Amino acid sequence: MTTRQSASRGLLAAAAQPASLLKASPVPFYAQIRDALRKQILDGALASHQRLPSENQMIEMFGVSRITVRQALQELESEGLIVRVHGKGTFVAKPIAFQNLATLQGFGEAMHPHGFDTRSDLVSVREIPAEGLVAERLQSRPGAACVEIRRIRYLNQEPVSVETSYFLMAVGGRLAREDLSTKDILVILESSYGIALGRANLVLGAHQANQEQARQLGVATGFPLLHIERLTHDRAGLPLMYEHLFHRGDSFRYTVQVDRQTRGDAA
């Protein structure tokens, strides 16, 4: 047994002792094992890519049946916390963060409550003439000055997205002087500038990483990315920020809940 396997076995065994606690609880055995493993994964006690003990070892540690162990592992796998590789074993999965598209939030604002660390690398801040879609989306006169901000966003020290944001000078000129490496722009607009935020319109699509994006995200050229075009308005409905967001799908996902609208003439 390797040192890493011994460490995993020790951690899991500690979670399972004493066995009488498992038997005394009204919570099903598989759920207790699932919760114990989930806690160690989310706490970092079991690291990403770390191999877990075999099913036989878990059966011995927890004093339960194979069906119970498999049910616990299946639920962790469905949550994306572990991966099972045929012929090699079960491993702790790379953590994937989720953000709810139905709520207008900044990146850090959405991630911090779930225990993720975030930061940004400011690639560039520059004044450019508003042209094409930028002028159209910001309802600006073509050629008028606007501010372009480019950033790389990090989740737990790993780059997960590259973002380009456009602002009219009235707001962008102020943002250019802010610490954008640790602060969310939406939070700055709302808390520091007193701008009441309203709605955002989003368009989602697939994108292949170009050479620059691949270098920034540490992936191969052509790697699949999720492209989000987002236009954020203030409470009065005026355009405030136009963005292009490119996310790594293997590290970050968006979720949304949709409700079916009942037709007025439905039977």
Give the pLDDT of residue 185. Answer: 95
DSSP state of 47: -
Fold classified for 97-255: Chorismate lyase (3.40.1410)
Kindly report the pTM of this predicted structure.
Answer: 0.69
Greater pLDDT, 166 or 79: 166
pLDDT exceeds cutoff 90 at 101: no
Across residues 90-112, what is the average pLDDT? 83
Greater pLDDT, 266 or 32: 32
Across residues 9-27, what is the average pLDDT? 57
Architecture in CATH for domain 3-92: Orthogonal Bundle (1.10)
Phi-psi region of 44 (alpha: psi -120 to 50; beta: other; left: phi over 0): left
Give the pLDDT of residue 120. Answer: 94
CA dihedral 238, 119, 46, 69 (to 10 degrees): 10
| Residue-wise pLDDT tens digits, 223-260 | 999 999 999 999 999 999 999 999 998 777 777 777 88
Give the pLDDT of residue 153. Answer: 94
| Residue-wise pLDDT tens digits, 178-215 | 999 888 999 999 999 999 999 999 999 999 999 999 99
Encode 53-65 in three state secondary structure: CCHHHHHHHHCCC
pLDDT exceeds cutoff 70 at 4: no
Banded pLDDT at 11 (limits 50, 70, 90)? low
d(CA 219, CA 72): 33
Greater pLDDT, 52 or 48: 52
Give the pLDDT of residue 22. Answer: 63
| Cβ atoms 91, 51 nearer than 8 A | yes
d(CA 97, CA 249): 10
In order, the DSSP letters of 170-235 are HHHHHHTTS-TTTS-HHHIIIIIS-PPEEEEEEEEEEEE--HHHHHHHT--TT-EEEEEEEEEEET
d(CA 94, CA 78): 14
| Cβ atoms 97, 111 nearer than 8 A | yes
- Domain range annotation of the chain: 3-92, 97-255
What mean pLDDT is reported for the chain? 86
